[in-house]
Amino acid sequence: MKKRIGFLWVSAMLLVSMFLPTYSAEAATKPTYTISPSSKTYKNNMMNFSTYNSHTKHYYLLRSYLEELEKNGGGTLVLKKGTYTISNTLYVPSNVTIKMKNGVKLVKGSKTGTNQFDAAKSMFQLIRATKSSKKGVYGKYNGEKNISFIGEGNVTIDLKYIEDSIAIIMGHNKNVKVENIHFKNMFSGHFIEMDASDTVMIRKNTFMDSKVSKNVNKEAINIDTPDKTTLGWSQTWSKFDKTANKNVTIENNTFKNLDRSVGTHKYSGSKFHDKVVIQNNTIEKTRSDAIRVMNWSNARIINNTIKNVENGEPGTRGILASGAKNPTFKNNTFQKVSRPVQFTTWKNTGPGSQYDITYNVLSKKNKQDLTNNIAINTAEDFIRINNKYNEYVLYTEKIYLVSK
């Protein structure tokens, strides 16, 4: 009888444990630090540096805590309301969440107040500080993981129109989230540069206002490969292994007054970004193609509103796709766009031109889905599919849309 009671008690405890939250000892030890613009660095570290001054103090402030989080294997850094001027690159290690409270403004600094080093172009790079100066330490998706940038309320990252500046650079990462942040004032860089990353969520952000770039092709969110020959990636800590991104979701964002919202402008031969989902976004007033698809497989672009692409000037496109394999583009609304969607064969020019022409591959279902888009005040009420390289009149297939 005692044995049976013991058995029943153990069984009951096992059943209860199935419904209780589980916490590892490691997770329980992850620290949370809260700082404000007037805070001192962690344990006053770095404040005695000769380069610590009014231009670099916020850089050193955040750096000191991020390096402490690296030592702890991760944790949370909470930024309280105020303006933080970031002069140099901050390196973010695995298992770190940066929470920004209502009223936080991260501003790209252009001065360091010292002749020992210049201001950097990037604000954040997703690699731990102890590996950031080494060569070729990460390849494939083997870099930092589980990193989040979360805004709570009105949170701004301002690049101040500093030429070639970038807010967040991710490469060889896994499980990254960027949520509820207002990115603004870009010039010839990107707000987010994404290479060789797996499982990325970018949601509920705004990306607004850029100066026109030289080639009018600088995306707010750039989807690229670490490829030396295309000159699109220059981080020395990366292995230039041409790994593509996969499982990327970009949803419920607003894009306005930019060259492009999301896209790729150079491809690596036979490398395809897989399962990029762009859904429920509003894209307005781009100077070039609102979305540039290049070597994307199984992409889903659905339920977006795209309007005022270069004021509807002839030849401009809502979505321009090359090297699209099995694309699902449906339920999008195009308004005041010359050409809603165009598929073309393509070949890199200049750097990366050694790669073969890339072609689109569309199934009957893909083409049927294309009819489920809406055109409002567009020059063309059809989708163009150009099947021959450098030929845009002959060999053109037309798929007609719903017009309003």
pLDDT tens for 312-323 read 999 899 999 999
State which amino acid sits at residue 251: E
State which amino acid sits at residue 181: I
Q: Are 72 and 30 in contact (CB under 8 A)?
A: yes
- The first and second tokens of residue 326, run together, are 């099995």
Q: Average the pLDDT over 263-282 and give the result.
A: 98
Q: Does 288 score more than 50 pLDDT?
A: yes
pLDDT tens for 102-126 read 999 999 999 999 999 999 999 999 9
Position 159 in a domain: yes
Position 104 in a domain: no
pLDDT at 395: 73
pLDDT at 18: 40
pLDDT tens for 376-388 read 999 999 999 999 9
pLDDT tens for 21-78 read 333 344 458 999 999 999 999 999 999 999 999 999 999 999 999 999 999 999 999 9
pLDDT at 24: 39
Q: Average the pLDDT over 4-14 and give the result.
A: 45
Number of structural domains, the chain? 1
For residue 398, count other CB atoms closer than 10 A to its CB.
10
> Which pLDDT band, with edges at 50, 70 and 90, does 404 fall under?
low
Number of H helices, E strands in the chain: 4, 32
Position 265 in a domain: yes
CA atoms within 13 A on the CB side of 59: 24
Mean pLDDT of the chain: 93
- Chain centroid offset of residue 318 CA: 20
Query: Domain limits at 239?
Result: 121-403
**CATH code, 135:** 2.160.20.10
State which amino acid sits at residue 71: K
Tell me the CA distances in angstroms from 65 to 77, 101, 128, 169, 247, one per residue in order: 7, 17, 12, 19, 30
- The first and second tokens of residue 8, run together, are 């029943």
Position 14 in a domain: no
Position 106 in a domain: no
State which amino acid sits at residue 14: L
Position 68 in a domain: no
pLDDT tens for 217-251 read 999 999 999 999 999 999 999 999 999 999 999 99
Position 84 in a domain: no
Query: Using CA atoms, how far apart are residues 293 and 275, in angstroms rounded to an integer?
Result: 12
> Which pLDDT band, with edges at 50, 70 and 90, does 8 fall under?
very low
Could you tell me how many residues make up the chain?
Answer: 404
Position 50 in a domain: no
Give the burial string for 163-178 (b: 16+ CB within 10 Å, else e).
eebbbbbbbbbbbbbb
pLDDT at 225: 98
pLDDT tens for 166-194 read 999 999 999 999 999 999 999 999 999 99
pLDDT tens for 193-203 read 999 999 999 99
Q: Are 161 and 167 in contact (CB under 8 A)?
A: no
